[in-house]
Structure 1
Amino acid sequence: MAQIPATATSFAAATAAPLKPLRGVRVLSLALNLPGPAALMRLKAMGANCLKAEPPGPKGAPAGTSGDPMGQYNPTAYAALHDRIKVITIDLKSDKGQARLHKELARTDLLLTSFRPSALVKLGLGWKALHKSYPQLSVVAIVGAPGVRAEEPGHDLTYLADAGLITGLDLPATLFADMGGALMASEAVLQAVLVQKTSGKGSFQEVALSDAAAWLALPRTWGLTQPQGAVGGAHAGYRVYPCKGGRVAVAALEPHFAASLCAAGDVVFEGMDTMFKPDTHAAMARFLAGKTRPQLDKLAIEKDIPLHTLAA
């Protein structure tokens, strides 16, 4: 059924955990662009005390320009990601900046980074050095790919391509690897906090965006979303069809939903095999093409059919 998309602010409010499992946990993030800030937004929603440190803005830029590239190429996204999060500027390449950083680290429970491993070592932020200076500090390091591949350049698009999730020339509808990586990073923070509470020591975890893409790609690897798969287009009740004034995403996958859809479309349902027959696909296409979006929205309610109408 047609719904109004939630804004970033309302989404964060709607998904904020009523329990705050990270209340009292101090998180310092050096992570830029999307995955780190998206993870920090979730940690804030779980009650963590979040601080973001950014490098100075580009030379010649107006005062107050963010040192995070996201703040420069999409201020709207940047504002949503950093809502109610304190942001400070630290030049990690300067002695003054290093002093400020270590002052913050001394009172931090978890450090979130998104630099290449070699860059962290150059800045004196390798795990061995940090663990020696701050035994109780945990680190969650977001990288592009795991292990020896962590030094390779890449972005969301390349990780999705590597995972087999780019099937044509169109760009993906969203940044799946980045957002999946943010979820994995917030999960890693929860794991680190549990370890701290049981052992009293900090831990190091590496979260790879390529691993996030590979995780999201598992249904395709298993064949579920391949063209011959039930949710890849082979099932007539799980497809996007044109309708009058737009499109309709139909998700009548289970037998009782499929039977209701067939009844509405005057198709004889004789079990799940019915949904994989070419004649059923053709009949559903004709039926849905003759209905308007309001008619289909009403049908969904009256017949309990999972569908969502879309603009053309």
Structure 2
Amino acid sequence: MLGPLASLKVLDFSTLLPGPFASLLLADMGAEVLRIESPTRMDLLRVLPPHDQGVSASHAYLNRNKRSLALDLKQPEALEVIKQLLADYDIVLEQFRPGVMERLGLGYAALKAINPKLIYVSITGYGQTGPYKDRAGHDLNYLALAGLSSYTGRADSGPVPLGMQVADIAGGSLHGVIGLLAAVIARQQTGQGQHLDVSMTDCAFSLNAMAGAGYLACGVEPGRDEQMLNGGSFYDYYRSRDGRWLSVGSLEPAFMQQLCTALERPELAAQGLSPKPEQQQALKNELKMEFEKRDFAELCALFAGVDACVEPVLSVGEAVRHPQLQARGVVTEVPRGDGSTQQQMACPLKFSEGLPAPRFIGAAVGGHTDQVLGELGFSAQRIKELRAAKVVS
């Protein structure tokens, strides 16, 4: 089984999270991904704890199914290797600050001259243009500038750092993959590649799907604990007597009726329909009181057979063991290379024709250098010379 993207060959110059998550999706769907890694400047993801048998679990997951070529891009011989690879690898994914690839002789214009069909994807914090294009940033900064942090969190305590990287993944990775595949379709029609400029801040801004639309069209600035879906209504999290949490999303009348009936407070259902903030707060206080009367296990059992959009807040370990996620096959076994396997999150996309089985966890730096150079026609002696000159490792 080859996978739907088996025809794509990607040179991945990215590190850390946004680019690697994007190329993970591509590799899981069958694309051939070759990581171009520095032999001297380690991808910091490789040392991120926790570790499994000395290997970062995050790195092993995010870089599975990808080969690694260790290449010092500052040396002229390295540029020649890249030029040879471009005969086959006609997609480039990079995550450097604007101008870095150009200084290395690997900018879009230079590589397009070698292969006009090249699709070149640049994922950066702020994009290739604008006054912030050279500015450093992280996920938290992109969410802040994009307006998303202004209406998340609580009114009395402000925004909270999210446990997952929304701008990195939803902004950079997913938008990068969408744009890349759109460019592939366009190339099928025109025969020409193009440069895709993915700004994580731009893409995070687009995630203001309802709040942004409301502000731009109506001038309504959303605030914390003021909107229906950010704590301004009963749609929220509720704590059990023993300190666990459950999510309540019973927005529709039928679900609200089920919720209130299960809690033996059917008279509360009418309050859920009121748009008045004071009514919503009153309902919220009643629901808090009802949830705090019961332990977590009791509440889980109470709502297990009730279609009320009420679900427990699970730990990652509990989520892994949940029957719904188990039935969906969200965990897979990935070969380590020594005959054993490592449990990892599976590709979440389900194709009727299936996907290829995972081949290996994230490789060591330069783990496939000899193999890749051999495929390019380099002799063993020439590879030895390049290694001695520290062009490759």
The bucket for the TM-score relative to the shorter chain is 0.7 to 0.9
Aligned CA distance change for structure 1 residues 109 and 225 (closer, same or farther; 3 Å): farther
Equivalent positions of 1:3-14 (< 5 A) are none
Paired with 2:21 and 2:307, the residues of 1 have a C-alpha distance of 35
Counterpart CA distance in 1 for 2:107 and 2:312 is 50
Deviation at 1:274, TM superposition (A): 7.7
Q: Counterpart in 2 of 1:76? A: 57
Shift in Å, 1:294: 1.8
Q: Is the 8 A contact 2:187 2:193 kept in 1?
A: yes
Contact 2:167 2:200 in 1 (8 A): yes
Q: Match for 1:182 among 173, 180, 183?
A: 173
For residue 6 of structure 2, the aligned residue among 12, 18, 23 is 23
Q: Distance in 1 between matches of 2:69 and 2:296?
A: 49
Secondary structure of the corresponding residue to residue 305 of structure 2: helix
Q: How far apart are the structure 2 equivalents of 1:192 and 1:311? A: 39
Alpha-carbon distance, 1:47 to partner: 1.6
CA distance change for structure 1 residues 19 and 225 in 2, over 3 Å: closer, same or farther? farther
Cross-structure match for 1:194: 185
Matched residues in 2 for 1:225 and 1:244: separation? Answer: 30
Structure 2 residue runs without a partner (length 5+): 50-55, 215-220, 316-393
SS in structure 1 of the partner of residue 313 of structure 2: strand
Paired residue secondary structure (2:229): helix
Aligned to 1:244: 241
The residue that corresponds to 2:75 in the other structure is 94
Instruction: Give the alignment partner of residue 226 of structure 2, picking from 222, 225, 228.
Output: 228
Greater RCO (Cα-Cα under 8 Å, separation 6 or more): 2
- Whichever residue aligns with residue 203 of structure 2, its letter is A
Structure 1 match to 2:306: 303
Aligned to 1:286, what secondary structure does the other structure show?
helix
Please report how far the alpha carbon of residue 196 of structure 1 lies from its aligned counterpart in structure 2 after TM superposition: 1.5
- Judged with a 3 Å threshold, the aligned counterparts in structure 2 of structure 1 residues 50 and 311 are, in CA distance, closer, same or farther, namely closer
TM-score, with structure 2 as normaliser: 0.68
Letter in 1 for 2:295: T
Mapped to 2, the partners of 1:198 and 1:192 lie a distance apart of 10
| Pair 1:41 & 2:24 matched | yes
Q: Cα 1:20–1:234, aligned 2, differ >3 Å: closer, same or farther?
A: same
Q: Deviations over 1:102-155 (max 9, x none)?
A: 221221121001112211111112222221121111101111113233222212
Between the aligned partners of 1:151 and 1:248, the Cα distance in structure 2 is 42
Structure 2 counterpart of 1:272: 273
Q: Secondary structure at the match of 1:303?
A: coil
Structure 2 contact 90–115 (Cα < 8 Å) conserved: no
**Residue 224 of structure 1: CA displacement?**
7.2
1:140 paired residue number: 121
Pairing partner for 2:141 from 133, 148, 158: 158
Q: Encode CA deviations 1:196-225: one digit per residue, 9 max, x unaligned.
A: 111111111111111122122334434678
> How far, CA to CA, are the matches of 2:187 and 2:27 in structure 1?
19
- The aligned residue for residue 292 of structure 2 is 289
Judged with a 3 Å threshold, the aligned counterparts in structure 2 of structure 1 residues 309 and 164 are, in CA distance, closer, same or farther, namely same
The counterpart of 2:87, out of the listed 91, 96, 106, is 106
Partner secondary structure for residue 245 of structure 2:
strand
CA distance in 2, matches of 1:72, 1:96: 29
Pick the aligned partner of 1:56 from 14, 39, 42. Answer: 39
Paired residue secondary structure (1:248): strand
CA distance in 1, matches of 2:211, 2:295: 32
Deviation at 1:45, TM superposition (A): 1.8
RMSD: 2.3
Q: Does structure 2 retain, via aligned residues, the 8 Å contact 1:39–1:182?
A: yes
> Is 1:115–2:96 an aligned residue pair?
yes
Does the residue aligned with 2:230 lie in a helix, a strand or coil? helix
Contact in 2 for aligned 1:219/1:225 (Cα 8 Å): no
Q: Is the 8 A contact 1:224 1:232 kept in 2?
A: no
Give the distance between the partners of 1:139 and 1:263, measured in 2 at CA. 56
Deviation at residue 81 of structure 1 after TM alignment? 0.5
| Percent of paired sites with the same residue | 28
Q: Is the 8 A contact 2:83 2:114 kept in 1?
A: no
- One-letter amino acid matched to 1:242: R
Deviation at 1:299, TM superposition (A): 2.1
> Which of 197, 202, 219 in structure 2 is aligned with 1:211?
202
The residue identity in structure 1 corresponding to 2:169 is: M
Query: What SS is found at the alignment partner of 2:15?
Result: coil
Could you tell me which amino acid in structure 1 is paired with residue 43 of structure 2? D
Q: Which amino acid aligns with 1:294?
A: A
* Structure 2 CA distance for aligned equivalents of residues 229 and 169 of structure 1: 15
